[in-house]
Chains A and B, each alone.
Chain A
Amino acid sequence: MPILVFVESANGIFKKSNFEAVSYGARIADQLRTDSFVINFEDLSDDVLKSLGDFGASKVYRVKNDSLKNFDAGFYAKVLFDIAQKLNATTVIFSFDYSGKAIAPVLAAKMNAGFVAGAIDLPMIDGVIMKIRKNVFSGKAIATYAIHSENKIVALTPNTVVPITTENRCSVENLEVAINPSDSKVKVKEVVKASGKVTLSDADVVVSAGRGLKGPENWGMVEEMASILGAATACSRPVADINWRPHEEHVGQTGLTVRPNLYIALGISGAIQHLAGVNGSKVIVVVNKDPEAPFFKAADYGIVGDVFEVVPKLNEAFKKFKSVI
């Protein structure tokens, strides 16, 4: 029984999290000595879809239908349900991103599948049981789940499993499934995206600042650091609450969760609710004038100092570094 991997690109371009999900599905399929099939609803070219084969997919299925241009989690789940039946698949892999979070639970209900939302490594497979680790308590602990139902759904947390390239052996095929457009209940009227800037949820580097910056007028140096490093900007919750920064930038327990390779925190105390949204970052750098700030306990590197002195100097140093490499 093949493994299905659902992928959705960002405007026709596949991102690292897509490759991670494809590689994850392929490695599970290898363990089970079966195939992994990628499912995509976006009507992309053969070349673009074939690029997924570099990460081990056996085949990419393109599902073409005008009604799929409108994202509707329930409708997508229905179509995926029919595809799983048609291809005789019992396991479906998603990325634990915006579309995965929307579609996967609906599909789990339709398939009567055990679902692990937010896996952080490959499953251990023991007969029908899959044991999978995921973060719980906002990253303050890890739990090992067992899925013991026949049907299984796993959504993989981005930036946790390194994708492995393989020799491309994949073909692209159109998959015919009966789709009834009137099953779609949710209609998208408008899509609004911040253009040009690196998006926070999938940035490799995040530069974040807190109340230590004193006021919105001081964010120039934060944005400068982000632009030198090709980073996204983020902030602590009070900063968003008092409207120094847009709400989309708020990270933490009640905001966005980010897992970049590098998280730079400027003038943020490191309250537990803030850490909950960033403690999955690979490397954390903290600049804070208070040596007792709790953030230093969660940091890999730190500078005890005044952001108004340190950040301009750091920006110069980053600039110099970027100009020589």
Chain B
Amino acid sequence: MKFLVCISKAPDTTTKIAFTDNNTKFNNDKVVFIVNPYDEWYALVRALELKEKLGGTVTVINVGATDCDAIIRKALAIGADDAVRIDAEPIDAMFVAKQIAQYVKANAYDLVLCGKETIDYNGSEVGGMIAGLLDWGYVSLASSLELNGDLATLNREIAGGYETVVVKTPFVLSAAKGMAEARIPNMRGIMAARTKPVAVVPVFACENYTTILSYELPKEKTGVKLVSPDNVDELVSLLHNEAKVI
């Protein structure tokens, strides 16, 4: 089984969000970038578990510039066999999906695993787009994955519960919580990662359909109104009369 795991770089979850160039660019000065948690904790680890059980290879793929090398090494340290970096600044989700779909067309894979969403742009888009471009099946927000030959069984999140689906490889999934438990790379993994192959692939020329014009920060809360613990009736009345939410 050949697994391809899509990994994205994302600002560490405690990053203070700020913008430059008249609020048109994210200020990544001093920002620590990590592997997008859904990609690392769930998609990558489940692919590794299945490879350990069933055999095969796990390749990670990233669309990004050289500043993504560190997150690629992290994925290799956790256990991926090799990596592909498509050498381009990701412009939008469709651009990323087209790069990856193009790569998959030229290099046969059985399963493409994405994360549920990137924690910066929160789109949940790339996985479905890759499936659409390849005309493969798509299972979104999968919380478990089992493989039996070319038949996969997955649970996927739906409103108020989950459903169990079956699909034949090849297909694309987006991985949500539950699929696996995060792994911490050990010293051996970190050493091994240094010599694992990272193929740098030139960009596949394509248009993008969206651009970000500007950013803004949400309106600040006006400040919390404190109510005494001995006067909970006042809170109830504020929620009813002032906030009008009960």
Chain A residues engaging chain B, CB cutoff 8 angstroms: 10, 71-74, 77, 97-99, 101-110, 112-118, 131, 135-149, 185-194, 199-202, 205, 229, 247-248, 250, 253-255, 261-262, 272-273, 276, 279, 282-283, 285-286, 296-306, 309-310, 313-314, 316-318, 320-321, 325
Contacts and interface: CB of A to CB of B under 8 A. Distances in A.
Contacts of B149: none
B203 interface: no
Contacts of A253: 13, 37, 119
Nearest to A96: B124
B107 interface: no
B64 interface: no
Given A74-B137, A250-B177, A304-B229, A262 B243 contact: yes
A272 B162 CA distance: 27
Residue of B38, B125, B218 with most partner-chain A CB within 10 A? B125
A186 B138 contact: yes
Contact of A114 (B38, B128, B131, B210): B210
B195 interface: no
A140 B124 contact: no
A148 B120 CA distance: 22
Contact of A109 (B11, B14, B132): B132
Binding site of A, secondary structure by majority: helix, strand, loop or mixed?
mixed
B141 interface: yes
Interface of B: 11, 13-15, 17, 19, 37-38, 41, 92-94, 97, 119-133, 135-141, 153, 157-168, 171, 177-178, 207, 209-218, 221, 224-229, 232-233, 235-236, 238-240, 243, 245-246
B129 A105 contact: yes
A190 B163 contact: yes
Nearest to A101: B124
Residue of A106, A141, A191, A199 with most partner-chain B CB within 10 A? A106
Contacts of A147: 209-210
B137 to A, nearest CB: 3
B216 A105 contact: no
A305 B178 CA distance: 34
Contacts of B123: 105, 115, 117-118
A146 B210 CA distance: 5
B245 A283 contact: yes
Contact of A108 (B125, B158, B240): B125
B140 A74 contact: no
B210 A301 contact: no
A314 B237 CA distance: 12
A143 B214 contact: yes
Given A74-B136, A285-B235, A300-B224, A192 B162 contact: yes
A143 B26 CA distance: 10
B79 to A, nearest CB: 21
A297 B220 CA distance: 9
Contact of B124 (A105, A113, A250): A105
Residue of A140, A300, A313 with most partner-chain B CB within 10 A? A300
Nearest to B158: A98
Contacts of B157: 98
Nearest to B128: A105
A310 B165 contact: no
Contact of B226 (A140, A279, A303): A303
B141 A321 contact: no
B218 A109 contact: no
B235 A136 contact: no
Given A105-B132, A314-B236, 14 more contacts: A73-B140, A101-B141, A106-B138, A108-B129, A109-B132, A117-B93, A118-B122, A141-B216, A141-B217, A144-B216, A146-B211, A149-B207, A186-B137, A202-B159
B150 to A, nearest CB: 12
Nearest to A105: B128
Nearest to A110: B132
A248 B15 CA distance: 26
Nearest to B134: A109
A312 B225 CA distance: 21
B218 A106 contact: no
10 contacts: A102-B128, A116-B210, A146-B210, A147-B209, A148-B209, A185-B136, A188-B163, A283-B243, A301-B224, A317-B236
Contact of A189 (B17, B132, B166, B209): B166
Given A185-B136, A253-B13, A317-B236, A115 B94 contact: yes
Nearest to B132: A109
Nearest to B227: A303
B161 A148 contact: no
Contact of B238 (A103, A301, A305): A301
Contacts of B128: 73, 77, 101-106, 108-109
Contacts of A248: 161
A144 B214 contact: yes
B136 A302 contact: no
Given A144-B212, A253-B119, A262-B243, A302 B227 contact: yes
B161 A314 contact: no
